[in-house]
Amino acid sequence: MLERKKIFLVFCLMIFMACSAGAAGFKDVDPEKISFKAGPTDPAEDLSIPWVEVSLYPKNVEAGGQFSVKAALASKVKEVSAVLDDKEKYALKPEDQSGWDAAIVLPSDLKSGLHFLKVNITGNNGKTISRTLVFRVLGNASRAEISFPVTFKSDTRLSKGRSVTAGEKGEAIYRQTYYWVKGPDGAEGWIEASGIEESKREIYVSAYQAFTEGDYDRAIVYYSEVVILDPNDADAYYWLAKAYQQVGEEQEVIKALKTALAIDPQHSGANWMAGRVAKDDFSKGIALLRMKKYQEAAEAIENASSLRPGSISYWMQLGKIYGLLGDTDAASEAWKQVLLIDPDNQQAHALLKTDYYRMIAKEEPIEPAAPKIAAETASSQYVNMVKQSRTEKGTLVGSALKSVVSMAKSLGTKIDEEGWKASWTGNSFLVTYACRQERLGKTESELFSFKVDPDSRRVEPYNKNARLLVSRW
């Protein structure tokens, strides 16, 4: 009988843990961004609670920014409060019988680095236990408390018994899975996201106004809110990049620009800005290289190449810097990127010491001459051999390639077909179908290469594209 009671209690505790994970664990957010502690109280502590769970999100925040603190408890308690660095005290408000929360705005002059938030839980007997959460302040930039215009979609009860009705206007002071809102009469409380409707247009106006007034921190918050509402808004990401640039957040600039161009590769503003940022980073990298600061130089040119992945000069220089750092694998990968852009780039072949390079540099014995057959006849003959060969599924290679190109065009990809060509490599013919396509605002070469043995007349796929074609079509 006693064993059954134990099993029942464990079962109840597991149910509570599952329920509390949603309340105090912040649904739909990256767990890596949460500061979190959970578990039963220790027998030596002044309070006995089967399960205590406290969490803070986000754990990386700017000075003047804000985070949310939640506590979920398996027993009723008198009050829950939080103390920042043993100084400022904040009261958590009860959500229900076991949940408590608060939105805390940090002082604008809080120093960057690690800080501590002690969550104090006071029981009905007046005794207190504590749980300490750690968070990091990223910088000293001041960010004022910002609210967003919202419309309440249903009748909702807020604090102190006050309520709002569907259709009324209010302000969202803090937004995660839930909103911390203020009603028309000043009453505040948490509301699920499904009960709120935000106006993208109004937030856009506020964002642009903040940007033109030079309040870039505020603009960042507003534009960030716009992309939460509409993740496919390339314009908002572009303006977000401009705002981040004004406060010196380079990695955020790059991230926002790459997202804007992924959404709209033809976005003129984002393309122009990405080009300028990449050029500046490349110049910075060259300057650092001359100062023999190789690691910093690599990071700068990595930024440049991430924005302009079609730039041969960026990849070439990056590979050389990796070589100076002793990272030969990374250097090789950078130079291979050059060959993806320009398969005939002799400098990259030389650096990689490919078979192609050794042949043209005459570092190996002269290969046998090509079979004595007219160039045009050879090209036509071996191209036809490849086109008439079959994939693993029985499709003619020529027909399979036509299908791939047609499918890409039907999806809106711009393709410039250069056609087939054949060349002698020393012991076989290399037959290649070449085309260029526009992708993410840049033109890329796509090659399908096959090797043909002139004696056995055997056709084999030579590069990755050809292997994929033969195995899948």
User: SS3 for 331-365, per residue?
Assistant: HHHHHHHHHHHCCCCHHHHHHHCCHHHHHHCCCCC
Q: How many CA atoms lie within 13 A of 214 on its CB side?
A: 0
Residue ending a domain, choose from 225, 242, 268: 268
Same domain, 159 and 61: no
Same domain, 6 and 133: yes
> Is 365 domain-assigned?
no
Same domain, 309 and 246: no
> Is 142 domain-assigned?
no
Same domain, 33 and 90: yes
> Is 460 domain-assigned?
yes
Backbone torsions φ then ψ of 279, nearest 5 degrees: -65, -45
Same domain, 298 and 413: no
Distances (CA, A) of 127 to 4, 124, 262, 367, 434: 32, 8, 56, 89, 77
> Is 332 domain-assigned?
yes
> Is 314 domain-assigned?
yes
Q: What is the pLDDT of residue 362?
A: 42
CATH of the domain at 315: 1.25.40.10
> Is 370 domain-assigned?
no
Q: Cα–Cα–Cα angle for 440, 443, 446, nearest 5°? A: 105
Same domain, 213 and 183: yes
> Is 367 domain-assigned?
no
Residue ending a domain, choose from 337, 360, 383: 360
Same domain, 71 and 91: yes
Number of domains in the chain: 4
> What DSSP string describes 123-163?
-TTS-EEEEEEEEEE----------EEEEE-S-EE-GGG-E
Same domain, 286 and 247: no
* Structure-token pair, residue 379: 């090209």
Q: What is the pLDDT of residue 430?
A: 78
CATH of the domain at 48: 2.60.40.10
CB 58 within 8 A of CB 68: no
> Is 368 domain-assigned?
no
Same domain, 253 and 309: no
126: alpha, beta or left? (left if phi > 0; alpha if psi -120 to 50): left
Q: What is the pLDDT of residue 439?
A: 64
* Structure-token pair, residue 222: 């507003």
Residue pLDDT tens, the chain, 473 long? 444 444 444 444 444 444 444 434 556 666 667 888 888 888 888 888 888 899 888 888 887 788 899 998 888 899 999 998 878 899 999 876 678 888 888 888 777 666 778 899 999 889 999 888 878 777 533 333 455 566 666 676 665 556 677 777 766 654 544 556 666 666 666 666 555 555 677 778 888 888 888 888 888 888 888 887 788 889 889 999 999 988 888 889 999 999 998 888 888 888 889 989 999 999 999 999 899 898 999 999 999 988 888 888 899 898 888 888 888 888 888 888 888 888 877 788 888 875 444 443 443 333 444 444 434 445 677 788 888 888 888 888 888 888 888 887 877 778 888 888 877 655 667 788 888 877 666 677 788 888 887 666 788 888 888 888 888 88
Same domain, 162 and 104: no
Number of other residues whose CB lies within 10 A of the CB of residue 464: 12
* Structure-token pair, residue 111: 């120093």
Q: What is the pLDDT of residue 356?
A: 43
Same domain, 351 and 394: no
- How far from chain centre, in Å, is Cα 398? 38
Q: Which domain holds residue 441?
A: 375-472
Residue ending a domain, choose from 206, 234, 268: 268
Same domain, 329 and 396: no
Q: Which amino acid appears at position 14 of this protein?
A: M
